[in-house]
Amino acid sequence: MSANWTLARRRPALEARARIIQAARQHFIQEGFLEVETPLRIPAPAPESHIDAIPSDGWFLHTSPELCMKRLLAAGYERIFQFCHCWRASERGNRHLPEFTMLEWYRANADYDDLMTDCENLLTAVAAACGDRSATIMVQGKEVRLDLPWQRLTVREAFARFSGVTMEEALAADRFDEVMVEAIEPMLGIGQPTFLCDYPAERGALARLKPDDPSVAERFELYIGGIELANGFSELTDAREQAQRFEQEERYRRSQGRTPYPEASKFLEELPAMPPSAGIALGVDRLVMVLIGAKSIDEVVAFTPEEL
């Protein structure tokens, strides 16, 4: 008799999870990427307004391997990927775990368009490894076809199409996130995956602004079946501008009474050596959710924090 029936019943999901991770790793190796590992505990996370790192013995558990990965780019490693656990304080919901698995990859001499192509190739390869020959997946009861052309929609277009307000109006009224969650996100990645592109400049602390429209950043999020899967952007390589944006974000964080972060000084020192690059973070747990049709992130991990 099984001692922990709930855990035993997760076997099909955990087996699919292992196949997905193995297929993704294989895909990056074939594409000539180097798999790297960077420390999970770091002295200075990148300050971001709405992401909080968990303190760990004077340092912090990383919220993403971003800064270390970029130092590798700056040192000449041109194509790198990493699977790792990341921690974000107080994030818990149907699609959030405070400790989750991230897949990040970076390309030198590339921009966010190249990353979108990477996403298409990666997901097609991984879905095939799941035994899904039709390339059709069911997400929250809706059909999504990976073999149709993936939709590219700007944030501005999405506001115009799915909500009663423009992007600028929503920002001015401090309603951007609410409109996104209530009106826009549920409409994205239905029928085929959607890249939601060109976020307002202030919503991409580490992203390059679009040369022909500096009101937006070259940043996108990948959505499938209304679920946000990945966030990618053309990297900001201007060290002075990056330092200014960090200061601005850190000032906001401190005004909200959050734990102060030291300056990420080594990253800022080495950033000028980084070639024009693009990088992306993909939530592995959510990828598994989408591919096996799970309703909650709890179904795709061996243990949730509540089960420990």
Partner 1 sequence: MYTVADLKKGLKITLDGDPYLVIAFDFTKPGKGQALYRTKMRNMINGTILDRTYRSGETFEPASLEDRKMQYLYREDDHFVFMDNQNYEQYRMGSEAVGDSANYLIDNLPVDVLLFRDKAIGVDLPNFVNLKVIETLPWVKGDTSGSDSKPATVETGYVLRVPPFIEEGETIVIDTRTGEYSTRVKG
Task: Give the residues lining the site for partner 1 (CB under 8 A).
Answer: 1-2, 5, 8-9, 11-12, 48-51, 90-96, 176-178, 180-182, 185, 196, 199, 203-205, 221, 228, 231
- How do 54-56 and 209-210 pair as beta strands? unpaired
Determine contact, residues 132/34, Cβ cutoff 8 Å: no
- Shortest reach from residue 244's CB to partner 1, in Å: 18
- Shortest reach from residue 204's CB to partner 1, in Å: 7
**Closest CB to partner 1 among residues 91, 113:** 91
- 184: its two tokens: 């826009």
**In terms of DSSP H, where are the helices of the chain?**
5-9, 11-30, 66-74, 112-129, 155-162, 167-172, 176-179, 239-255, 265-270, 284-292
Cα 236 to its chain centre, rounded Å, is: 17
180: which DSSP letter? I
- Shortest reach from residue 48's CB to partner 1, in Å: 7
- 120: its two tokens: 């298409």
**Closest CB to partner 1 among residues 27, 219:** 219
Determine the residue type at 130: C
- Shortest reach from residue 90's CB to partner 1, in Å: 7
**Closest CB to partner 1 among residues 32, 93:** 93
**Closest CB to partner 1 among residues 178, 269:** 178
Beta carbons within 10 angstroms of residue 96's beta carbon:
14
- Shortest reach from residue 10's CB to partner 1, in Å: 8
- Shortest reach from residue 57's CB to partner 1, in Å: 26
Determine contact, residues 283/100, Cβ cutoff 8 Å: yes
**Closest CB to partner 1 among residues 94, 109:** 94
- Shortest reach from residue 229's CB to partner 1, in Å: 10
Burial, 170: exposed, middle or buried (Cβ in 10 Å; 0-12, 13-18, 19+)? buried
**Closest CB to partner 1 among residues 91, 114:** 91
| Cα angle 82-241-233, degrees, rounded to a multiple of 5 | 35
**Closest CB to partner 1 among residues 206, 288:** 206
